Amino acid sequence: MDLLYKIFLDPFVQMGAAPDLLLQTLWEGLVGGVLYALIALGFVLIFKASGVFNFAQGIMVVFAGLTLVGLFGVISGLGNVNEHVAAFAALGLTVGVMFVLAVGIERLVLRPLVNQPDIILFMATFGLTYVLIGVGELIFGGEPKVMITGELFLPRGSTDWEVFGGFVSFQHIDLAAAIIASLMVAGLAVFFSKTRIGRALRAVADSHKAALSVGISLEQIWVIVWFASGLVALVTGIMWAARSDVSFALQIIALRALPVLILGGFTSIPGAIVGGLIIGVGEKLGEFYWGPLLGGGIESWLAYFIALVFLLFRPQGLFGEKIIERV
Amino acid sequence: MRLKGLLIGAMLGAMAGTPALAPAALAQDGIYVPLFSYRTGPFAGSGIPIANGMSDYLNMLNARDGGIGGVRLIVEECETGYDTKKGVECYESTKSKKPVVTNPYSTGITLQLIPKAAVDKIPVLSMAYGLSASADGERFPWVFNPPATYWDGLSMIMKYIAGKEGGFDKLKGKTIGYIFFDGGYGREPIPLLEQFAKTYGFDTKLYPVPAAEMQNQSAQWLSVRRDRPNYMIMWGWGAMNPTAVREAARTNFPMDRFLGVWWSGGEDDARPAGEGAKGYLTLNFHGVGADYPAIQDIVKHVIGKNSQTPRDKVGENLYNRGVYNSVLIAEAIRTAQQITGKKLVTGEDVRRGLESLTITEARWKEIGLPGFAAPITNVSCTDHNGHHAAYMQQWDGQKWVKVSDWITPMKEQVRPLLEAAAKDYVEKNTGWPKRTEACDKRS
């Protein structure tokens, strides 16, 4: 009886007793969820265009973050360079590096494997992950780096909102992350739904052969989506690393996008966003209110549990397409 | 084409899973000392300075003195990535070269190597980490964990907290939170914490941080905000440490009530949180800084020549931790040479050397590290740890500052628990061999 109370009633009693903490938990979940959505978006873009599950998305987040910090260090070391100028120059150069990476991946990894089964392409992204880890460690070393934030005019500090006899603390960097991520998601959604390239991407997603037959360049589309995915990785890297550090441990967090994808569907941009938010909020509420019952630390598997429960009711995910194959 | 794709994938996968051995000569004319290190992966931030300190000190002995007792040390690193499986592979790949001691540098790897040590006759030195119970030399003759166990560390933290509160009796009714890496390392002190809670009447709150959540601790710190513990104790490692310090600052947790074990006290653990980290406390058992003659010798003989250490990182806390580790290795080898009269000592000899390890205050001075650490005087055949003292250091925003005297562990509380745990370990591992090794130094 006591256990049932602890599972079904006590958490809600706690929510009512300290609504400020509930709001804080929801906010932290939303911020985490937005960042999960960004990571998931990187996966979705590439999956839509090529049917490839890009295992390297996580390391791309780390690689982009390390490149930015590394280039900032190099430019700052050149002499009397204003820190903001150096930061934005590094940002521009990092965008360039992500473009070169996209072209390189298309030329050296994807193009030679055209028309191969998806599992081969997946294996190739697995290999790409370890190449990027190795190259990243070779160039930047294994030590964690502090992300540049003030230099990029990203806000610091926090604002406390006094409410329900308590307070909810909003870190300015989290607010910035939520706004920037939302803008980025909206921008990408418009780009891929309203522009010619976006329509081409959707055509490629439907059928490579049909897209080729109407003159759409697969190579060009792949470069664009890998570049877009690289940009998403860069923004994710900046925002997540601003909350901790840029380190190779960050790539593990990218795997948290898997339940988001299970939930939202591998081909749906709205699915990535809504799925990210549900997972982000769900895992924080779960860890905070139900975690102590199970000894804590349940966050890492709870996300998968939530996704699997959803799958029981919607096997195609929240926004995924229901595929019926008749035999 | 399909085969080619699979082969490339398989090759890259295989590369990722193979431990990397740094090149070194075969152990024929020297004393072979493998160092398990992790310069890559999620824990590299903590692993790199320690690996640098360990290698640099031993390489300095080679460059300055021609080794130990006239015999060169063959120092070889094996990259584990802090991965237990790779650590065991490192052990297996170095075993045939007759190492005189193994340094796993991971509690997970140590736990795997403990049963192998007696069989292969290679002592395991798990310096201030590993299985606390392995301090029982009667049951674990091949495992050593000086200068202090995790349980000693916890007891020293509790003593410090009790000192702040005005005595252990003042802990009654208080709440002490424990945030820890959710693995063998972080779980190690929990039985003692629960024992202390029962004895002194305080409440405990546990906040595990799974490896995948090291950089995503907001839920744990929200729980801290809800539970309002009077003190927070941390057993963190790698990326977990700086994230926890940042989150504590974000939560406005009073940093002078946030205390870490000695593995949570790197400069890069506190520095990224900026001003917010001011006041954060951690245990330490050796000095910080480069103003020691031996460390200056490292700068003179090794840095920029046979080292991966940037000059400005010499003397940082975890770098000096690596130096301390290598001092224990070097002194054990030297002691083994003295006991056996041999120059080219073996693992069996160094086990005896470790069991007779003594580093007095005068000896610390003699080796160029005056006042660097508390004397090592209590290691013996029965006690493979010694339960030596540590001190509390505090982050002042720029550097670590010593803020306490040497704190001795509560050996009278720790030792019986430790022996019970050792007995339990032996009982659970049927057929555990009885000690047959002779003793050079009775306690």
Least confident of A46-50, A306-310, B17-21: B17-21
B254 and B172 inside one domain: yes
Q: Is A248 on the interface with B (CB under 8 A)?
A: yes
Helix (H) or strand (E) holding B77: strand B73-79
What's the rounded Cα separation, in Å, for the pair A225 and A104?
A: 13
Cα–Cα distance for residue pair A293/A7, rounded to 1 Å? 8
- Flag if B48 and A141 touch (Cβ within 8 Å): yes
| Distance, C-alpha B124 to centroid of its chain | 12
Q: How far apart are CA A307 and CA A317, in angstroms?
A: 9
> Is residue A1, in this structure, part of any structural domain at all?
no
In a domain, B408, yes or no: yes
Assigned domain for A77 exists: yes
Instruction: Give the amino acid at B443.
Output: S
Phi and psi angles of residue B80, each rounded to the nearest 5 degrees, phi first: -105, -20
Residue A323 binned pLDDT confidence (cut-offs 50, 70, 90)? low
Tell whether B2 is covered by a domain. Answer: no
Question: A112 and B250: CB-CB below 8 Å?
Answer: no
DSSP-derived secondary structure letter, A147: P
Cα separation, A131 vs A206, whole angstroms: 30
* Amino acid B115: pLDDT: 95
Question: Is the domain of B363 the same as that of B409?
Answer: no
A277 falls within a domain: no
DSSP letter string over A17-71? H-HHHHHHHHHHHHHHHHHHHHHHHHHHHHHHHHS---TTHHHHHHHHHHHHHHH
The CA distance from A1 to B30, in Å, is 68
Domain total for chain B?
2
B80 within a domain of the structure (yes/no): yes
- Please check whether residue B135 lies inside any domain of the structure: yes
The gap from C-alpha A128 to its chain's centroid, in whole angstroms, comes to 18
A96 near B CB under 8 A: no
* CATH at B237: 3.40.50.2300
Q: Is the pLDDT of residue A37 over 70?
A: yes
pLDDT at A207: 77
Whether A322 maps to a domain, the answer reads: no
Same domain? For B223 and B107 the reply is: no
Q: Is the domain of B138 the same as that of B165? A: no
- Judged by CB atoms closer than 8 Å, whether chains meet at A123 and B9 is answered as yes
Domain assignment present for B7: no
Specify the pLDDT at position A322.
66
- Asked if residue B402 is part of any domain, the answer here is yes
Read off the pLDDT of each residue in A285-311 and give the average, rounded to a whole number: 89
Residue A321: what pLDDT? 65
In this structure, the answer to whether residues B145 and B156 fall within a common structural domain is: no
| B91 and B62 inside one domain | yes
CA distance A322 to chain B (A): 30
pLDDT over 70, % of chain A: 98
In 3D space, the residue among B274, B222, B206 whose CA is nearest the CA of residue A167 turns out to be: B222
For the beta carbon of residue B254, count every other beta carbon within 10 angstroms.
11
Q: Please check whether residues B156 and B271 belong to one and the same domain.
A: yes
Q: In this structure, what token pair is assigned to residue B6?
A: 């699979």
Give the domain extent around B280: 150-287+391-415
Please state the φ and ψ torsions of residue A9, each to the nearest 5 degrees.
-115, -50
**A171: nearest CA in chain B?**
B250
List of long-range contacts for A198-202, beta carbons under 8 Å, 24+ apart: A201/A48, A201/A49, A201/A225, A202/A48
Q: Per the domain annotation, does B208 fall within a domain? A: yes
pLDDT value of position B443: 53
Look at the alpha carbons of B57, B60, B65, B71 in this order and tell me if their dihedral is positive or negative. positive
When divided into structural domains, chain A yields a total of 1
- A59: in domain: yes
Per-residue confidence (pLDDT) for residue B442, from 0 to 100: 56
- B44 vs A contacts (CB less than 8 Å): 137, 141-144, 247-248
Are B74 and B220 contained in the same domain?
no
Please check the confidence at residue A235 and state whether its pLDDT lies above 50.
yes
Residue B129 lies in a domain: yes
Do B300 and B262 have their domain in common? no
Which of B12, B39, B79, B216 is the mutation pick for testing A, counting most A CBs within 10 A? B216
Predicted-assembly ipTM surpassing the 0.95 threshold: no
Q: How far is A204 from chain B (nearest CA, A)?
A: 22
C-beta neighbour count of B193 within 10 angstroms: 22
pLDDT above 90 covers a percentage of chain A that reads 46
The per-residue pLDDT for B147 is: 97
Closest Cβ–Cβ partner in B11, B219, B251 for A284: B219
pLDDT means over runs of 10, chain B (443 residues): 41 48 60 96 91 98 97 97 95 96 95 96 96 94 96 97 97 98 92 95 96 90 95 95 94 96 94 93 97 98 95 96 98 97 96 97 98 96 96 96 96 91 94 92 59
Cα pseudo-dihedral B116, B52, A73, A248, rounded to 10 = 10
Same domain assignment for residues B132 and B206: no
User: Do B69 and B158 fall within a single domain?
Assistant: no
Q: Give the C-alpha separation, B345 to B114, whole Å.
A: 21
Domain that holds residue A53: 29-254
- B37 and B141 inside one domain: yes
- Whether A252 sits inside 8 A of B8 (CB atoms) is no
Q: Is residue A222 part of a domain?
A: yes
